[in-house]
Amino acid sequence: MFTRIAAATALVIGCVIVPATQASATEITPMSGSGCTGNPGSNGMKCIYVTGTKLHVDKIKTTLTRNHANPNCGRAHIEIGRNYATTSGNICDGRDFSFTDTVGLSFPNNTKACAWWSNYPEGKACATIHN
């Protein structure tokens, strides 16, 4: 069974992410980028941060900021294309969650990277790796 999940998508050009939609909050730094989805003024927001050069991804980080600070636990899920996936251990916090993974791999042009959290499953933060 497949569940359709809304996603914010950004385009990585030489590992600088350019938002594909106006709904994405984007913070651009040389040779790295980020994209977010969710509503920071409502339920919360999840983000993906990609660091690398061109098609090579050095690190990938995902964060979840919830607006209602009630302690709970969740796992971060990151997928890059069809061949790379990782899941964090259980992370417990009231409000701010973060997970970073060292990737150290190159991916084909236009590979999609996405992150989501088990304790806030609505939507994914995504980026497209582009040369």
Higher-confidence residue: 38 or 20? 38
Region at 64 (left for phi over 0; alpha for psi -120 to 50; beta for the rest): beta
Q: For residues 1 and 4, give the distance between their C-alpha atoms in angstroms, rounded to a whole number.
A: 10
pLDDT digits (tens, 9 = 90+) for 38-91: 765 566 789 999 999 889 999 999 999 877 766 788 999 999 999 999 999 999
In a domain, residue 80? The reply is: yes
In a domain, residue 17? The reply is: yes
The strand pairing partners of 8, in sequence order, are 125
Reduced to 3 DSSP states, what percent helix, strand and coil does the chain have, rounded to the nearest 5?
A: 0, 65, 35
In a domain, residue 2? The reply is: no
Instruction: Return the pLDDT at 125.
Output: 92
In a domain, residue 37? The reply is: yes
Instruction: Return the pLDDT at 52.
Output: 92
In a domain, residue 1? The reply is: no
Domain containing 70: what range?
7-130
CATH number assigned to the domain comprising residue 37: 2.60.40.10
In a domain, residue 92? The reply is: yes
Q: What is the pTM of this model?
A: 0.72
Q: How many domains does the chain have?
A: 1
